[in-house]
Amino acid sequence: MVLEEKIKMPSLMENIRRVVRGIIGPNNPLYRQAAISLDYLLTVKTEGVEVANQLQRLDRQKSGKMEALKLNSLQYPIWIRPGTLDASTVISNVIREEYGKLLFKNMPRWIIDAGAYIGDTSAYFLNRYPEANIIALEPHDVNYAMCEKNLKPYGDRVQLLQKGLFSEETQLTFTGEGTAGSIGEGDGFTIETTTIPNLLKDIPGGHIDLLKMDIEGAEKDIFEANASEWLPKIDHIIVELHSPEITTSVLTILRENGWSSELYRSVWYCSRNQ
């Protein structure tokens, strides 16, 4: 199967969202309510009213038992917890397909998902790219357990590591919860880290098609350490950059190594120039 390698055009709803956000700003209460309404309508369109109502309820609940969510785009149910960011993350990553705008020339075989959270993006990739294998990294104990639960049905297509991605193999302090954690000093828990070169050693041919990174600021250390060594072994990167300083640093390094980058919502789509 051959896929054209480019960025998909935004949907009508996404274009409406962009226009409204540009007029009134992303932090305006009216925009936030409008965004919630658009997400609900998109979920109704793709998954039906029952799933849309379930996601809306779980997103609003403060506590309760985890529930299995059956989505048309996923082969297996995905478990999410009320009182967390699980529901909104699934909406962004699976229903809005925030990480699905890149179309490949050839079906991807190897993907690294660094910052896998509950496994939602990995599950999305596994279903979108049926020939792909994934190495998923999630250092947080509770999220790792959720990730394990959600990805277990996919069998040996997934290698799940309870580690963070960093510029070196070491131990770091991880603070915060959910998708808002960070690596640094302060109260938290110790995590083990690994590196991109070490992960590439375990992949046939030492090459990956896609590196997805949402690693709460650690991307700066990774790119500034030895990016020129591993960038030639990767075709595409989708990365969330967590500050203006980090954005400037990472995009400069990519450009100097012959990469181009394009922003889509909160993530950067980066590809090696052919």
Residue 132: closest CA among 112, 117, 146: 112
Residue 51 belongs to a domain: yes
Residue 1 belongs to a domain: no
Specify the pLDDT at position 2: 38
> Looking at the whole model, is its pTM more than 0.85?
yes
Low pLDDT (below 50) residues in the chain: 1-5
Residue 239 belongs to a domain: yes
Specify the pLDDT at position 177: 59
Residue 235 belongs to a domain: yes
| CATH label of the domain that carries residue 101 | 3.40.50.150
Residue 16 belongs to a domain: yes
> Hey, what are 224's tokens?
């500034």
In which domain, by residue range, is 31 found?
6-272
Number of domains in the chain: 1
What residue type is 38 in one-letter code? Answer: L
Specify the pLDDT at position 180: 52
